[in-house]
């Protein structure tokens, strides 16, 4: 179970504390822990080990300009707490994207469910986008292909599917227009009826209704086509 965003941090400050160490983790050398404490020696003449306040990617530590010996103060503690939130949210998002494709809206919803604030969510989404890990247009096109594979699907059903995956309404309009244009082009090049898939679907289903009267058959077929997202026309 995911822990709360602030669980890993100890932002409290004591007078005279400094950053004692910045050391790579054993599990991932690209990440490092920041240890804070008193620089004074103990009674046995050894340096105090201090406490770990955050674990971050080394690139994030470098961008923050952290150095061993830097004074530990409230402003720095808050800055590292925010960086830690971003780091935890980024890892939660990237782990989910490694398992399956998701839209930016789906990632945003999941991060908010985990307790991350709006600003953290937007920074993480921007980072994922820069890394090429998010592509809502490609995700939407793949969803359209999956939905129309094997069965016809009208615009209404496709719009519902895309909206359920938290895609932006303007992008949905663009993807549906693109899909419609592709179907029209295919029909023009092959000479097929643009509604050939829907017609084939209706013919196949009608074959299973030999005993129904024409009006009843028409009504049932209309309902089945409507459930696949086709309008009355």
Terminal-residue alpha carbon distance, the chain: 49
How many whole angstroms separate alpha carbon 77 and alpha carbon 125? 24
Question: Would you mind telling me the total number of residues written for the chain in this entry?
Answer: 233
In the chain, the percentage of residues whose pLDDT exceeds 90 is 60
pLDDT tops 60 at residue 41 = no
H helices of 100-228, in order, are 104-113, 118-130, 136-148, 155-164, 169-190, 196-206, 214-227
The sign of the CA dihedral 106, 60, 63, 4 is positive
pLDDT digits (tens, 9 = 90+) for 143-161: 999 998 878 888 899 999 9
- Percent helix, strand, coil in the chain, to 5, is 55, 10, 35
Average pLDDT over residues 38-49: 62
Going by C-alpha positions, the residue among 169, 86, 83 that lies closest to residue 126 is 86
Distance from C-alpha of 57 to C-alpha of 61, rounded to nearest angstrom: 7
Percent of the chain with pLDDT over 70: 90
Query: Of the ranges 103-107, 116-120, 139-143, 152-156, which one carries the lowest mean pLDDT score?
Result: 152-156
Q: Is the pLDDT of residue 7 over 50?
A: no
With left for phi above 0 and alpha for psi between -120 and 50, is residue 191 left, alpha or beta?
Answer: left
Q: Any idea what DSSP says for residue 68?
A: T
Q: Find tokens 């895609």 and name the residue.
A: 167
Q: Is 138 exposed, middle or buried (0-12, 13-18, 19+ CB in 10 A)?
A: exposed
Q: Give the integer Cα–Cα distance in Å for 87 and 90.
A: 5
Dist CA 67 CA 146 (whole Å): 51
């Amino acid at each position: 179970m995911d822990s709360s965003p602030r669980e890993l941090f100890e932002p409290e400050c004591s007078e005279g504390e400094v950053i004692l160490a910045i050391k790579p983790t054993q599990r991932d050398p690209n990440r490092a822990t920041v240890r804070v404490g008193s620089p004074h020696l103990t009674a046995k003449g050894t340096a105090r080990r201090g406490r770990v306040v955050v674990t971050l990617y080394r690139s994030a530590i470098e961008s923050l300009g952290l150095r061993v010996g830097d004074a530990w103060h409230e402003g720095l503690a808050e800055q590292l707490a925010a960086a830690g939130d971003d780091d935890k949210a980024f890892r939660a998002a990237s782990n989910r994207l490694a398992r399956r494709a998701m839209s930016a809206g789906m990632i945003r919803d999941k991060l908010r469910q985990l307790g991350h604030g709006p600003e953290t969510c937007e920074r993480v989404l921007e980072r994922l986008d820069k890394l090429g890990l998010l592509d809502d247009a490609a995700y939407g096109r793949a969803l359209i292909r999956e939905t129309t594979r094997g069965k016809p699907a009208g615009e209404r059903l496709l719009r519902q599917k895309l909206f359920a995956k938290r895609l932006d309404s303007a992008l949905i309009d663009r993807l549906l227009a693109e899909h419609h244009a592709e179907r029209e082009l295919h029909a023009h090049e092959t000479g097929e009826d643009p509604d050939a898939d829907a017609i084939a679907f209706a013919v196949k289903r009608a074959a299973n209704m030999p005993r129904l009267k024409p009006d009843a058959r028409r009504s049932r077929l209309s309902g089945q086509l409507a459930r696949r997202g086709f309008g009355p026309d």
